[in-house]
Structure 1
Amino acid sequence: MPISLSEATHKLLSGEIQSWKSFGEIKAGQIHLSSPAARRLFHFLLSSDKAKVAAGSEELFSGLIAAWNNSSFDPALQQSATPLATGSDRWRLARVEATGFGGLNLVDGPLFVLAANRQNWCLEGQNGSGKTSIASAIIWALTGYRCRDQDGLVKDDGRRMPVFNDSGVQIGDWPPTVAYPPNALKLAGTAEAWVRLLFQDDHGSTAEAFRRLTAPPVGEPQFESRVDPALGTAPQLVETGLLMPTRLARIGFGEKSHSIYEAVKLLTGLDQLADIGEGAASFSHKAKRLLKYGSDKGIQGIETKLETALERAAEESRKAGFALTIAGKPEDKTYAQGLRELADSAATLAATHSRALQAEVAADINTANPEHRARIRSAVTAARGVLQQNVKGITLFEAWAALKAAHADSRISALSGILTTAQSQIGQAIAWDKRQGEDLRLRLKALAAQNFVAAGHEHEDADCPLCQSKLSLPHQRALAAELAALKAAADAAQRKLADACAAIEKEVRDAIPALLIPHFAALAAMQPRTSFEKAVRERFVEEAPFATVLTGMADFAAGTAAALTERMPGFNHADLEVPADVPATAVSVPC
């Protein structure tokens, strides 16, 4: 049974087995593209330039790799949506319309119309009269290929090509598919052409094929195409009615004649499959350029990265308690499948952990989102840094550490006596301050008392320490008695309360270990239970990354802090009531 190009490609793209019988020196055989990746490669080669495919051109390498990696596409699904027709309905061409198509139209000229009326036509005319252009327009509308006399069918990419004048000077560019404009000025404009085909079957039903090319002066050309699916189920229409006649020009006669085998391949288009086979051999042969292309693109580096990634995966799996066994070598056919199965198994385990993780992070975090997972990793790294600091930097714990270290200082044991003395001194200073307020000359008297010398005998008068005269009068003798009484406490009597309090405070602070000085105010007002819980919450609950991402850890820290707080003993500061008549200066002294 004969094989047509459309039948062969449909079978191969569908994943079916295409077999053939022996013919002459050609042995019987079969081809089966069993994997989607193989079908994608075949689909790409079918749509590529045939000459480049047959030559195994390096220009195809990037497309081959892209097709292989496009795992979302399987040509078999596309083929199942458009099965080959098995009925006997005949679609025949009824009408051709074209605008701007080279060989049929003039730029800005009238619409080209050919009323074929479902009849068989034999086109006859001189060279350049448009016979090939009509066939090319029909093929182009249906397939996107153009017909060129000696080259056969070529894929139309719509790109603008250089245009030269009679002197060989380039005057612009223009896509060959579109009719050329009458002058060079119009070459700078947008080129546009379209073809519409109307088909009709034996029952009067109609189907349309339409294709438009728009090629702007700058940028990529744009195609618009609409081909009724009914026409795609009648490959014989295209194969025998259009494609075969256009291939006749490629079959040589006389000195250039082909063998019958080669001629049949050319006539049926099966030479395209032969070109793909020849190109595939070039791609895969070790002496060809594909392996060099891989080497130039850094395949050795990729292999190294793969090995490193697998080693890291094995290390991480051990940490996670996941058995990761990578069997075989990269060149083994089952190696890739084995890696995929391992990846699936790891993904299942990861999903389990992911569900557990989801319960430990903020509600707005989605563990299935790669960006959110990156946030979690960043948060874990930050949290690890916080936890490594432990309580370092928390003022409360630093104060407690200083208090613990100071407990062993001998000055702490002496501090109680110093405070008792300080309280007595404060009382005396307040009393002197009161007397100073009552007697504005008291400080002067105290200053004079420092140099006062009492009389040696009761019948003698003392000398005034200021004027050196005798204190003989009654009020002078009273002053002498007062100076004598002040002499013992002259220093305390003449000092201001602020100066006295400052001196007392210095004595107290000098007795406090240096470690406690920076934390003195905090310790003086601290309530251990509430301060502890507040400090823990500030560091491990209310700050990022715990409050923003790792909310499970924040909840754990909050619960632990609350439990520890309940176990801590209460502490009540001594509530000392200060009499209302005590000056404010004395109230602030830390004793």
Structure 2
Amino acid sequence: MTNSPTNSRPLHLQTVESLFAELIGGSGVLVGENESEFRLNNLDSRSLLNWYRLNQTKWAGNVMAADVEAMVSAMTTSPPQLPIPAVNAQQARRRLAIVKIVAHRFAGVHAYGTADEPPPDLVFKPRAPITLFEGWNGAGKTSLLNTIIWCLTGQVLRPQRQPEAGQLEFSGSFSRSSENGDEEVTLHALTPVTPLPDPATYVPPINQPVPVDSWVEITFRDQDGNELPVRRTQMRTSKGKISEVTSGIDALNVDPISLRIGTIMPAMLQFLRIGATSDLGLAAARLTGLSEVSSLAKHAAKARERLSSELQKKREQEIDEDDRQFVEAKSDLQKQIDAYPAMKPLDDLPGPSNDRALEMKLSSLETHFNTLKANALTAAQSILGINFDPNEREARTNLEASIGPALGQLKSMQQLPSVRRSRELSALSEADWKLVDDLSAQIWNEGAVLGELSATPDLGKRRQLYARVASWLHDYGDHDSSSCAICSRPLSGILDPVTNRPVSDHILEMNEADQQLLSLTQKAWVD
């Protein structure tokens, strides 16, 4: 509450509509004897008040769980800017007089006629400052007043009850002859400002409402002689809903409550009892329409109580479940990151929190992984070929859909012996690979030697023979190598018939490695 600014209006000059427009729009209202300013500075409060504006039928009802949910959702939207009646300095000397009233197809003033042929419009021009309507009960005095009251306020006076909205529909009964000649009664919707059709001239079609076509135009003349027409039209939309359109009311430049003081309030006095001071305040509130706000306050208090009890408990349970799912998703993602470190983001994965910064962190993570995905799709082109376009949505979708089956096939291939052997080979150390290289070189050299022997079969056979003899002499070292291993005769001077070289020289040339290798045939070496 603050001191009153010059552009705020007192509460007693407000209606429910203007009060909503002021508070929802962020303006202030003057309250109390000192006329301190009250305003809703919180956007959530203004959005919630707008929900109440749009749901006036719920003010006097019970607080339902669905309503509380809707109220919470409403606070996530921005409050609208509603039109506020203008007020200026000239309003204090404002003087308005009715110079003309034109009514079209208005209940109590006109007969209905037919849907296509309305009765002639009523045109009334006052000739004196004061006009007195006189007549018997049922002559139409109240209906004449209703043309003015409805045009200015949208409400009409009702016998023996409080005024009501002119667009509040009710069902009218119509008698008609059926196909078998019997009389049947049908119900058709119409409004308090629509004349009740005479069945002798017009009966609405079955299952159809009474066509609505009513309007009243009042022409005022202000203190400066300016004529100000005000018009209210009631019609039925293409969907069958009642709609009222007004024009010219803002040009009157008067407080909304001023339109009620001489119209609706007198009809409500008979329903008020004034005794104590509080009764007088209640009576004033009912006359201005602000008594409805007390129902709003009670509903809001109950909604707050429900929100802070069972709904809060329910929300806490939902938050716990969301946190559990968040932690589970975080754990799954962390496992993927541990398995593929290249996809690790700069910052650690965040945990569940009510901090607004969490949204920024999650947005940053989404950007990070989307970038990785885009880069991976681009890199996939080098594998899949130029026919794969990472910019085409269908190509990306097909690739992503194929990743799962491909991973399944790779997992199955891991059970193949060749794949297992390859996996085992990948686990060899540098020392193991050196042994493999040395063995490969040895095999290569031995193969080259044996290949040379097979290229010269005669010499190869002789060398294999001498290799075996040398191997035998090596195993049995007590034999004299200068004599024959078979007959023990001296080898001196004995020549090999193929090489024409001394046999003893061939035996001496065979070292231990050559003995083992050359003594083998190719088949024995391969085996």
TM-score, length of structure 1 as denominator length: 0.48
Amino acid at match of 1:174: A
Are 1:5 and 2:14 matched, yes or no? yes
1:140-188: CA deviation from partner (whole Å, max 9, x where unpaired): 44554444455534445554536388xxx96313223222111283363
User: Cα deviation per residue 1:60-89 (whole Å; 9 max; x = unaligned)?
Assistant: 87566546534686445224xx45322425
Q: C-alpha distance in 2, partners of 1:179/1:163?
A: 13
Picking from 82, 105, 112, the partner of 1:78 is 82
Query: Are the counterparts in 2 of residues 123 and 131 from structure 1 also a CA contact under 8 Å?
Result: yes
1:311 aligns with 2:324: yes
Shift of 1:106: 1.9
What whole-Å deviation, never above 9, does each CA across 1:191-236 have from its counterpart, x for those lacking one?
Answer: 20322434545462645433323278xx642425243473485334
After superposition, the C-alpha distances for 1:110-153 in whole angstroms (9 at most, x for unaligned) are 22334469966555555444444445444544554444455534
Paired amino acid for 2:50: H
1:113 to 90, 112, 123: 123
More helix by share: 1
> 2:186 — aligned with what?
171
2:429 matched to which residue of 1? none
Paired position in structure 2 for 1:214: 236
Paired with 1:172 and 1:192, the residues of 2 have a C-alpha distance of 15
Taking structure 1 as reference, are residues 380 and 316 closer, same or farther at Cα in structure 2, changes over 3 Å only? farther
2:359 aligned partner = 343
Give the letter aligned to residue 163 of structure 1.
S
Report Cα offsets for 1:553-574 as digits up to 9, x if no partner.
xxxxxxxxxxxxxxxxxxxxxx
Match of 2:52 in 1: 45
Change (3 A) 1:96 1:252: farther
Does structure 2 conserve the Cα–Cα contact (< 8 Å) formed by 1:96 and 1:195?
no
Residue 255 (structure 2) aligned to one of 210, 229, 235: 235
Deviation digits for residues 17-76 of structure 1 (CA, Å, limit 9, x no counterpart) = 4453269xxxx99754333443344334345557x52x3345x87566546534686445
- Which residue of 226, 250, 264 corresponds with 1:204? 226
8 Å CA contact retained: 2:166, 2:191: no
Secondary structure at the aligned position of 1:77 is classed as coil
CA distance in 2, matches of 1:353, 1:126: 85
Aligned partner of 1:423 in structure 2 is none
Q: In structure 1, how many angstroms separate the alpha carbons of the residues matched to 2:122 and 2:42?
A: 46
Structure 2 counterpart SS, 1:78: coil
Residue 388 of structure 1 corresponds to which residue in structure 2?
Answer: 407
Could you tell me how far apart the structure 2 residues matched to 1:127 and 1:358 are? Answer: 84
Q: Partner of 1:152: helix, strand, or coil?
A: strand
Structure 1 residue 385 displacement after superposition: 0.5
Which blocks of at least 5 consecutive residues in structure 1 are unaligned? 328-337, 366-371, 405-591
Go from structure 1 to structure 2 and tell me whether the alpha carbon gap of 1:355 and 1:34 turns closer, same or farther (over 3 Å shift).
farther
Q: CA RMSD in A?
A: 5.1
CA distance in 1, matches of 2:163, 2:71: 24
Asked if structure 1 preserves the Cα contact closer than 8 Å seen for 2:23 and 2:39, the reply is: yes
Rounded to whole Å, the distance in 2 between the matches of 1:345 and 1:124 is 78
CA contact (8 A) 1:93 1:118 kept: no
Q: Distance in 2 between matches of 1:355 and 1:94?
A: 74
Identity among equivalent pairs (%): 17
Q: Match of 2:212, SS?
A: strand
TM-score computed with the length of structure 2 as normaliser: 0.52
What is aligned with 1:98?
A: 103
CA contact (8 A) 1:207 1:228 kept: yes
Q: Find the counterpart in structure 1 of residue 265 from structure 2.
A: 244
Equivalence for 1:35? 42
The 1-side partners of 2:316 and 2:26 are apart by 31
Flag the 1:196–1:301 CA change in 2: closer, same or farther, 3 A.
same
Secondary structure of 1:34's aligned partner: coil
Separation in 2 of the partners of 1:69 and 1:232? 38
3-state SS in 1 of match to 2:226: coil
How many residues in Structure 1 have an aligned counterpart in Structure 2?
Answer: 362
> Which deviations, in whole Å up to 9, do the C-alpha atoms of 1:232-269 show, x marking residues without a partner?
85334424344434433433479x99932222222233
Give secondary structure in 2 for the equivalent of 1:181: coil
Cα distance change, pair 305–163 in 1 and its aligned pair in 2 (3 A): farther
> Partner residue of 2:503?
none
CA distance in 2, matches of 1:158, 1:312: 51
Match of 1:447 in 2: none
Whole-angstrom distance in 1 between the partners of 2:371 and 2:149: 57
Distance verdict in 2 for CA 1:49–1:392, change over 3 Å: closer
Distance (Å, rounded) in 1 between the aligned partners of 2:157 and 2:255: 18
User: The residue matched to 2:198 in structure 1 has which SS?
Assistant: coil
1:21 to 4, 29, 32: 32
Contact 2:101/2:216 (8 A) holds in 1: yes
Structure 1 residues 61 and 180: alpha-carbon distance in aligned structure 2, compared to 1, 3 A threshold: farther
Paired position in structure 2 for 1:56 = 61
Take 2:368 and 2:100, find their aligned partners in 1: how far apart are those partners?
63
Q: Does 2:297 align with 1:277?
A: yes
Q: Secondary structure at the match of 1:39?
A: helix
Say if 1:13 and 1:33, in contact at 8 Å, map to a contact too: yes
